[in-house]
């Protein structure tokens, strides 16, 4: 009978430790789940903000930068003016 009490005491201590470790693990898991949920909520909000900023940037780009076609027209116009100036300088130098 003495060995049965000893066995029950050892089993009780082991069960107590296993229960305590299980409770600690479960507590950590639930904390991590809550943290993950908070991160997901903030991630969605941050993603909405980033998408809004990108949309605003895309809409403001035409105001800040010149379109390639417009730049090509300007380049052609400037080249044409320089060609006219060169022709006039050539006429002046010939005369």
* pLDDT tens track for 36-81: 998 888 888 888 899 999 988 888 777 777 788 888 999 999 999 9
Query: At 95, is the secondary structure helix, strand, or coil?
Result: coil
Residue with tokens 């417009």: 70
Say yes or no: 19 and 39 in one domain. Answer: yes
| pLDDT tier at 92, thresholds 50, 70, 90 | confident
Q: How far from chain centre, in Å, is Cα 45?
A: 12
Say yes or no: 57 and 73 in one domain. Answer: no
Say yes or no: 36 and 76 in one domain. Answer: no
Say yes or no: 41 and 23 in one domain. Answer: yes
Say yes or no: 8 and 28 in one domain. Answer: yes
Say yes or no: 92 and 75 in one domain. Answer: yes
Q: Per the structure, how many domains does the chain have?
A: 2
Range of the domain at 19: 1-64
Say yes or no: 29 and 44 in one domain. Answer: yes
């Amino acid at each position: 009978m003495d060995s049965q009490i000893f066995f029950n005491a050892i089993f009780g201590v082991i069960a107590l430790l296993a229960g305590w470790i299980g409770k600690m693990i479960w507590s950590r898991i639930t904390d991590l789940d809550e943290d993950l949920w908070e991160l997901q909520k903030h991630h969605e909000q941050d993603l909405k903000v980033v998408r809004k900023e990108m949309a605003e940037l895309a809409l403001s780009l035409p105001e800040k930068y010149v379109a390639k076609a417009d730049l090509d027209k300007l380049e052609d116009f400037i080249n044409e003016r320089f060609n006219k100036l060169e022709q006039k300088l050539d006429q002046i130098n010939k005369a």
